[in-house]
Structure 1
Amino acid sequence: MKIIVPMAGLGSRLRPHSLTIPKPLIPVAGAPIVHRLVRDIAKILKQPIDEIAFVLGDPTFFGDAVIAQLEELAESLGAKASIYRQGAPLGTGHAIMSAEPSLSGPAVIAYADALIRADLELDPEADSVIWTKKVPNPEAYGVVKLNEKDEIVELVEKPETFVSDQAVIGIYYFKDVAVLKEKLQEVLDENLMNGGEYQINDGIKKMMAEGRIFKTGTVDEWMDCGNKEVAIDTNSKMLQFLHDEKEEQLIADTVVNKNSTIIEPCFIGENVVLKNCTIGPGVAIGAGTTIEDSTISHSLIQQDSVIKNAQWTEAMIGNKVQYNGEHTRVSLGDYTVMK
């Protein structure tokens, strides 16, 4: 089994936090988004992962340090890492075709901008499985249309009339991804574009037109990380899942706690110092950060920052930030100084 991860986007909706770190590498609940996504998919698949192909963007932004981190991630799952570049932002289909040498055999394609919780089995009769989430407002999403056999027969973008409440979340399984490659090549050859981009949906529609069987795989939770507000919400939800599952140590042994209260669930990294604070619930704090005289809940704080006199809820703070103030809702990128 392979996992293909297109992650070349700039993450503009998550700025300023994505100005210095690619969005898929921003930590949520103590680990980068792409790390959590890939590991959760591997757990769901319940079979060995041979290769993980990452499709990156501009090498000046997705440089050697990023590649090294992704190679380490693949190796931790016993897989080979393959690195590809998408030279221009020409859509989801174009991103997948940028990994053309790896497009063979069974594969999962997953876009690295959301996290999931699921316990599902891949249908052995299906040529492809499109993972979906039941939503209360399907008119805001791309959804699947099903026939009487619960097979997907159409993809409908933001339907004005009800089609189904199963929203496409951007994770796909293909029994042989080479079939998708063939159809996406046809999309490129025909210059078939939507919104100026080559889309995966057009390749999928060509597969459907040939009678390929598509089924749904419904996830229990689909947690977006696209902007500051939803990333903070996802952080809180993921911390609660991790706390309940008890599979990860969330509070490091090296945390220095001086007259502070921690309200779980929280993630608190190595060598964090807390002085006269109330932290939590729903707070993630990166390694090496010091927080003093503060009350913080439902917030994301990255590494090596110094925070004093903060009264925060729903805050998102980058790396190496210095803050001393009385603001209550903030979003500060790396190296910000407020005194």
Structure 2
Amino acid sequence: ALLRLRPQSHERIFEIPGFFQWGTPEDLKIFEYWEQSYRAHHKFIGRERAEVDQVLMPMAGLGSRFTSITQIPKPFIPIAGGPMYQKALQTLPKGKNTVLITLDSVKSFLAAGDETIISLSKTPPGQALSTEAGITALTAEREVLVSSCDHGIVLDPTTWKKFKEFPDCDAAIFTIKGYPGCQTHPNSYAYVVTDEKGSFPEVKKVSVKVPISINPSQDSLLVGTFWFRTAEILNQGIQELKKQEILVNGEMYLDSVFELLIQKGLRVREISLSGYLCWGDPDSLAESLYWQEIFGGYRLEQRSKFPGVTLS
């Protein structure tokens, strides 16, 4: 309006480092989710890191959604000084034996470390089959944590300690409630139904890529991190998945294993997280990093859409 009235006037536009929108209940819930997630994340930093016998991380996907912004393969996109997969590992209990499943074509991007590397010639048709490729590097009778490379979890060490002391559990699914992304893209996620009893409720159903209610953000979202009492239980689940040829959108998801285990009489439980940081696509990565920057320290300078990320 000012320019129309006074065409010769000078106007300047200032970009602010951050903006909080609380105009609707939904806006406020989004803010509260990220505030609580990063508050918990900062609270647990510096504590002695929990341990687990074995960690298996499948990272043999193509990451095709990132090709529009970078030529760097998704697991190796540098986030805040380190590749994505390393940042994901750092949020997990530390594995005494860590196995990474990658592709021959991107193996050169791997940073030097003590992980066991299994390299595949091509991407298997589904995360479950990528996971299967690493089972030979595991000790069959020992526990294993399986987690995707494109997210971080905020796990209260006290919760993990209590779970490790919890009896009568063969497998577990890590979940979060309130994640904003499942409200805007409900068919992109998997959801867990439990008996809602105790600290670690028993899982009754897993719905893959299909919401279980009209308010997905209020439901237990399966984040993509799983625990198995033994690597053999993991293997049995995948073999049954292959036998029954259970596919979702043409792929074999590890998410689908748990109902098969339940059908065999095994006990699957839910572990609730204090936060979930999704980096699985450019928009999710940008959102997560935006809030990380907001709650990790303000900057009075122009910011990029992907703060702390190096893109080619």
Superposed pair shares fold, TM > 0.5: yes
1:73-127, CA deviations, whole angstroms, 9 ceiling, x for partnerless residues? Answer: xx3xxxx423242633311211111112034221110011112222132353221
Superposition map of 1:248-327 within 5 A: 264-265=297-298, 280=299, 295-297=301-303, 299-300=305-306, 318=311
Aligned-partner Cα distance in 2 for 1:229–1:194? 23
Structure 1 counterpart of 2:241: 187
Superposition map of 1:110-129 within 5 A: 110-119=147-156, 120-121=159-160, 122-123=163-164, 124-125=166-167, 126-129=169-172
Superposition map of 1:168-179 within 5 A: 168-179=222-233
* 1:13 and 2:48 correspond: no
Q: Does structure 2 conserve the Cα–Cα contact (< 8 Å) formed by 1:55 and 1:86?
A: no
Cα distance, 1:42–1:113 mapped onto 2, change above 3 Å? same
Q: Which runs of 4+ in 1 moved over 4 A?
A: 136-140
- Which structure 2 segments of 5+ residues have no match? 1-52
- Which structure 1 segments of 5+ residues have no match? 44-48, 244-263, 266-279, 282-294, 303-315, 319-333, 335-339
Structure with the higher fraction of residues in helix conformation: 2
Counting matched residue pairs gives: 241
Aligned-partner Cα distance in 2 for 1:86–1:215? 35
Pick from 81, 84, 99 the counterpart of residue 33 of structure 1: 84
Q: CA deviation at 1:14?
A: 1.8
Q: Does structure 2 conserve the Cα–Cα contact (< 8 Å) formed by 1:180 and 1:204?
A: no
Cα distance, 1:81–1:153 mapped onto 2, change above 3 Å? same
Aligned-partner Cα distance in 1 for 2:292–2:307? 15
What fraction of aligned residue pairs are identical, expressed as a percent?
20
Pick from 153, 172, 175 the counterpart of residue 132 of structure 1: 175
1:57-76, CA deviations, whole angstroms, 9 ceiling, x for partnerless residues? Answer: 2x22x13x224x1x42xx3x
Aligned-partner Cα distance in 1 for 2:310–2:89? 24
Could you say what secondary structure the match of 1:179 adopts? helix
Aligned-partner Cα distance in 1 for 2:196–2:285? 37
Pick from 67, 77, 95 the counterpart of residue 130 of structure 2: 95
Cα distance, 1:117–1:238 mapped onto 2, change above 3 Å? farther
Tell me the amino acid that sits aligned with residue 133 of structure 2. Answer: S
Structure 2 counterpart of 1:167: 221
Tell me the amino acid that sits aligned with residue 303 of structure 2. Answer: S
Q: CA deviation at 1:53?
A: 0.9
Structure with the higher fraction of residues in strand conformation: 1
Structure 1 counterpart of 2:257: 203
Could you say what secondary structure the match of 2:86 adopts? helix
Cα root mean square deviation, aligned: 2.6
Structure 2 counterpart of 1:228: 282
TM-score of the pair, normalised by structure 1:
0.63
Query: Which structure ranks higher in relative contact order (CA pairs < 8 Å, sequence separation ≥ 6)?
Result: 2
Aligned-partner Cα distance in 2 for 1:171–1:160? 20
